[in-house]
A and B are shown apart, each in its own frame.
Chain A
Amino acid sequence: MAEIVPETPRATSIVLDLPGWPGHRAGQHVDVRLTAEDRYQAQRSYSIASAPEDGYLVLTIELVPDGDVSSYLASGLRAGDQLELRGPIGGYFVWDDCAREPVLLVAGGAGIVPFRSMLRHRQAAAGDVAVRLLYSARSLQDVIYRDELMRFAAYDEVDIRFALTREWPETWHGHRGRIDSGLLSEVSWPAGDRPRIFICGPTPFVETAASTLAAVGLPSGRIKTERFGPAG
């Protein structure tokens, strides 16, 4: 482990230096296994936050209340510590910059992590594919990668919208409350553009977003989802 980067009060990134890493695709994940002195083992899956071109691996850990693994990874690790890691894993929830169709990314909470990899991959490849990102977070301070996302949003082809579900500044002009069909209709591409749609977040969020997008006319066959559970 090379570096720890605090992202929000509840999320921390760890930067891993992995000599011999075989490379990964944007959207893939890894499994991290921790073994205690008494041989107790715990394993968790984490999406990769870094782009294939970055040269190092970044995982972003969301602190789960009473989560033994997340709390250790977020606050117990020190530079130079070693982790047991398996991956990269997954060939379904991935995006390569050779795909030409417009992209819609819908993230709930820490579901933003694989999309950071995709956005960085798009930028590193100097891609011009149009991307829209809808990111639902509890509050502005819970928005992970906020500064970096704002830099991405400066590109003409990248449109980023935030939905804040619990708290928002008085001057907030973005969406207030949970995502709904009106908001999804507004940000989604016309079905005729054959967009690639990725949704990542907690299971209820993913199911709501996917069924709503299908209800507004987007073919479910174009929608790829990745759910994560509360395991800490």
Chain B
Amino acid sequence: MEPLDGNAIGRPLLELSGREMTAADGAYGQCGSVFKLAELLVYSRAPGR
């Protein structure tokens, strides 16, 4: 299954939060590395869907 990226969930994130979120920073809990939400891999047809 080929993943997309965080850009693909820009609209639902916008509708949920009321703000543009793809350029928002996130951080890994373990190592603290910072990333942009748009850089996440998104499996829109994951098992169970």
Q: Which residues of chain A have a CB within 8 Å of any CB of chain B?
A: 29, 31, 45, 86-87, 89-93, 202-204, 224-230
Give the total number of A-B pairs whose CB atoms are below 8 A apart.
58
Q: Tell me how far the C-beta of B11 lies from the nearest C-beta in chain A, rounded to whole angstroms.
A: 5
Give the interface residue-count category, chain B.
10 to 19
Q: Tell me how far the C-beta of B15 lies from the nearest C-beta in chain A, rounded to whole angstroms.
A: 8
Additional 11 contacts, C-beta under 8 A, given A45-B8, A224-B38, A226-B5: A29-B10, A31-B11, A89-B20, A91-B23, A92-B37, A92-B39, A203-B4, A204-B2, A226-B38, A227-B2, A230-B2
Collect the chain A residues with CB atoms within 8 Å of residue B22's CB.
89-93
Segment 1-49 of B: residues with Cβ below 8 Å from A: 2-8, 10-11, 14, 20, 22-23, 36-39, 44
Collect the chain A residues with CB atoms within 8 Å of residue B37's CB.
92
Collect the chain A residues with CB atoms within 8 Å of residue B8's CB.
45, 227-229
Known: A31-B11, A87-B11. Is A92-B23 also a contact (CB below 8 A)? yes
